[in-house]
A and B are shown apart, each in its own frame.
Chain A
Amino acid sequence: MIIVALLLATQVAVQDPRLERLDPETRSSVIAIVDSAREMGLPSEPLVQRALEGATKGAAAPRIVAAVRRLAADLGTVRTVLGARASTPELEAAVAALRAGASVPVLASLRDARRGPLTMTLSVLADLVASGVPPDSAAAVVLALAPNARDVDLVEFRRAVERDIALGAPPAAAAAVRVNAGARPGTAASRP
């Protein structure tokens, strides 16, 4: 009985006061997902932020709960790929890449190809897809750049591709041309 009381007290203590912005029903569902994720060693902050985003945007309760649950599942998937030592930003970026269409084997290849943090690499992959580059093309070019490019190089590469697309280049071609140009020192994909 005492143990149960202590457990309940602990549960109340760890509840995030920010979640009070959610209605009671949504809040209890989100807390259950967050607690479950935490028990699995997954970061809770992205889940809290997704719930708060939904609340601020006035989304319906089922939509908020579904979004948080889906994010928890995706965080679990990418954590399996990237490993238990992956940071929260890496996991969040990996989820974005996964949702952009990068397959689990592509994520694993990026993990193996790049030394150091993967956050920017995965983010650039997701952002390229958001710019219109087909997922397979985006994955191929980022995999080509991953072993040697610095984070600033990757950001500059993404910006160059976005500029080319804005000027009318087909997205896949823009990415391919830029990655080929980046293979030569002193060209646009390198740091200015």
Chain B
Amino acid sequence: MFEQDDDIVERMIRQLRRPVSIDPGLDARVMGEIAAAAQPGKRRTWPWLAAAAAVLAVVVVTRPWTLDPGTSRADAFQFVLVAPQAASVSLVGDFNDWDPARSPMHTAHGVWATVVPLAPGRYRYAFLVNGVEWRADPAAPNAIDDEFGTPSSVVTVAGRGS
């Protein structure tokens, strides 16, 4: 029975840990819809113009030509820890300056989760349970060079297209 439960939890974790990918064209489409909705009389006449303006706005704001080819914008990563007895869990790591206040995790029936945007790179991280107990991520490789006497894990994010 417990093995079945473990299996279910493991499958839930695998699903929850799948990277959340957001269509890069989403901003453009949303802005296009907003622009069209703001001008109901012209919606049928100029939808392409609104969309083009939105795309231009997105391009100007994000300035993709300034991105290094070896890097790309951050993808959202979900971190999950099963800790039914915990009162609080924080995710801390190289991506949030090891600040427990930056990435508090939220629970549903003892499964704690949070989503963090990560640019390509290798990050050390750990879970801080109840503000005092350090735990490595059981679903990720361990950091082998722990120098502070507490467990840590690592996540490596590949660049797009690599």
Question: Would you call B39 an interface residue if the criterion is a C-beta within 8 Å of the partner chain's C-beta atoms?
Answer: no
Segment at the A interface, from B59-67, B109-117, B147-155:
B147-155
Residues A67-104 near B (CB distance < 8 A): 67, 70, 87-89, 92-93, 95-96, 99-100
Q: Judge whether A100 and B162 touch: CB under 8 Å.
A: no
Which residues from 87 to 144 on chain A have a C-beta closer than 8 Å to any C-beta of chain B?
87-89, 92-93, 95-96, 99-100, 116-117, 119-120, 123-124, 126-127, 129-131
Interface of B is mostly: loop
Which of B70, B94, B122, B152 makes the CB contact (< 8 A) with A93? Answer: B122
Q: Which of B26-34, B47-55, B77-85, B97-105 is found at the contact surface with chain A?
A: B97-105
At the interface with chain B, which of A34-42, A51-59, A168-176, A177-185?
A51-59
Q: How far is the CB of B134 from chain A (nearest CB, A)?
A: 7
Docked Cα-Cα span, A117 to B121, in Å, equals 10
Contact (Cβ within 8 A) A119 B158: yes
Q: Which residue of the partner chain, among A52, A63, A150, contacts B97 with CB atoms under 8 Å?
A: A52
Instruction: Give the complex CA separation of A149 and B141 in angstroms.
Output: 20
Q: Does A155 contact B (CB under 8 A)?
A: yes
Interface status of A152 (Cβ within 8 A of chain B): yes
Whether, in the assembled complex, B124 has its beta carbon less than 8 Å from a beta carbon of chain A, the answer is: yes
Known interface pairs A49-B94, A116-B162, A120-B156. Does A56 touch B143 (Cβ–Cβ under 8 Å)?
A: no
- Interface pair B144/A53, CB less than 8 Å apart: no
Assess whether A120 is in contact with B97, with CB atoms less than 8 Å apart: no
> Are A120 and B158 closer than 8 Å at their CB atoms?
yes
The answer to whether A67 and B120 touch across the interface, beta carbons within 8 angstroms, is no
The answer on a CB contact under 8 Å between A96 and B122 is yes
Q: A55-B98, A117-B162, A119-B158 are in contact. Are A100 and B144 (CB under 8 A)?
A: yes
Are B145 and A99 interface neighbours, CB within 8 A? Answer: yes
Q: Which residues of A contact B150 (CB under 8 A)?
A: 57
State the CA gap A116–B162 with chains docked (Å): 8
**A-side interface residues toward B, CB under 8 Å?**
18, 46, 49, 52-57, 59, 63-64, 66-67, 70, 87-89, 92-93, 95-96, 99-100, 116-117, 119-120, 123-124, 126-127, 129-131, 150-152, 155, 158, 162
